[in-house]
Amino acid sequence: MSNSQSVKPDSTITCPHCGHSQTDTMPTDRCQFFWKCPSCESLLKPKEGDCCVYCSYGDTPCPPIQEAEEYGDGCCRS
């Protein structure tokens, strides 16, 4: 079984400023550092200690973190 079969590709990200929620398909090969809220136009960045906006504001962590949790690998931090 490959890593991609166990990874959930979608996450619902919620803006902490206005509460807008949106389900997005996350990139599988990298972390997403910024997300612009389509409602209030706030630019979200990861919280300290998180690698991406999905880990900070989404209901599902990013694919590299999901794989790290399952297989003990590192994240995509650079």
Q: Which domain holds residue 14?
A: 3-71
Find, among 55, 57, 56, 77, the residue nearest to 66 by Cα.
55
Domain count, the chain: 1
**3: pLDDT confidence band, cut at 50, 70 and 90?**
very low
Per residue in 13-63, pLDDT (tens digit) is 999 999 999 999 999 888 899 999 999 999 999 999 999 999 999 999 999
pTM: 0.80
Residue 22 within any structural domain of the chain:
yes
Residue 17 within any structural domain of the chain:
yes
Residue 11 within any structural domain of the chain:
yes
The rounded distance, in Å, linking the Cα atoms of 72 and 38 is 35
Residue 21 within any structural domain of the chain:
yes
